[in-house]
């Protein structure tokens, strides 16, 4: 999720933040807030996959771009 004017959220660092999600006709399983614009989760990706450099997601959306080629 991205929005206009939301490129730098560093002003919120160390402050409590509330997120409100509304979903109609779907299922919500998980989300994360990435530390940078890559969208990487730094979480485990099981057996890896195209675009990943190891067992953890350290590349973010680059993996999706490489996988869609």
Alpha helices (runs of H) in 5-68, residue ranges in sequence order: 61-67
Query: Under a CB-based contact definition with an 8 Å cutoff, are residues 57 and 40 in contact?
Result: yes
- Could you give the CA distance from residue 67 to residue 52 in angstroms, rounded to a whole number? 9
Q: What is the pLDDT of residue 25?
A: 92
- Residue 39's SS3 state is coil
Please state the pTM of the whole predicted model.
0.59
Dihedral of CA atoms 49, 62, 44, 26 in degrees, nearest 10, equals -100
Per residue in 15-67, pLDDT (tens digit) is: 998 888 888 999 988 888 888 888 899 989 888 788 888 889 998 888 877 66
Query: Under a CB-based contact definition with an 8 Å cutoff, are residues 57 and 45 in contact?
Result: yes
Q: What is the pLDDT of residue 21?
A: 86
Confidence of residue 2 (pLDDT cuts 50, 70, 90): low
């Amino acid at each position: 999720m991205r929005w206009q004017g939301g490129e730098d959220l560093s002003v919120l660092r160390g402050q409590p933040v509330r997120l409100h999600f509304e979903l109609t006709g779907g299922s919500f399983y998980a989300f994360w807030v990435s530390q940078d614009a890559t969208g990487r989760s730094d979480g485990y990706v099981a057996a890896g996959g195209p675009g990943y450099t190891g067992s953890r997601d350290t590349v973010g959306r680059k993996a999706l771009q490489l996988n869609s080629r």
